């Protein structure tokens, strides 16, 4: 495994992994796949606000879709050219809808 932080890279094992994570290093396996994130990472507040706003908008759109009937959802999917199982539940149909209406 590798512990990586900025331009520093260390080879670690399971016994030392936690110490590096606490020190702010991300841990990657031997194939380069992220195993564990550093514990002290932060996101700039403006980026947090942007993502929070996007999430609220997406939830609002999904709520709008929840108000539609199954037939209306199928019509919407047909308009968008999205295939669906004719026996799909309302929840399954809603999940097929894109996150942004066109």
Give the tens place of pLDDT for each residue, 14-65. Answer: 999 999 999 999 999 999 999 998 888 888 889 989 999 988 887 777 777 7
Cα torsion 89, 95, 100, 102: sign? negative
Domain ranges of the chain: 2-36, 45-96
pLDDT, mean of residues 72-99 = 90
The pairing of strands 8-11 and 34-36 is unpaired
In eight-state DSSP terms, residue 40 is: T
Contacting residues for 15 by C-beta, under 8 A, at least 6 apart: none
Q: Is the pTM of this model over 0.85?
A: no
Protein fold of 45-96? 1.10.720
DSSP assignment of 44-64, as one string? -HHHHHHHHHHHHHHHHHHHH
């Amino acid at each position: 495994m590798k512990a990586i932080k900025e331009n520093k890279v260390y080879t670690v094992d399971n016994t030392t992994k936690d110490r590096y994570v606490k020190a702010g290093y991300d841990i990657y396996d031997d194939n380069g796949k992220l195993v564990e994130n550093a514990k002290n990472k932060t996101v700039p507040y403006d980026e947090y606000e942007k993502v929070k706003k996007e999430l609220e908008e997406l939830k609002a759109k999904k709520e709008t879709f929840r108000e539609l009937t199954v037939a209306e959802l199928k019509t919407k999917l047909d308009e968008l050219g999205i295939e669906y199982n004719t026996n799909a539940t309302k929840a399954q149909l809603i999940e097929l809808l894109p996150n942004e209406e066109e």
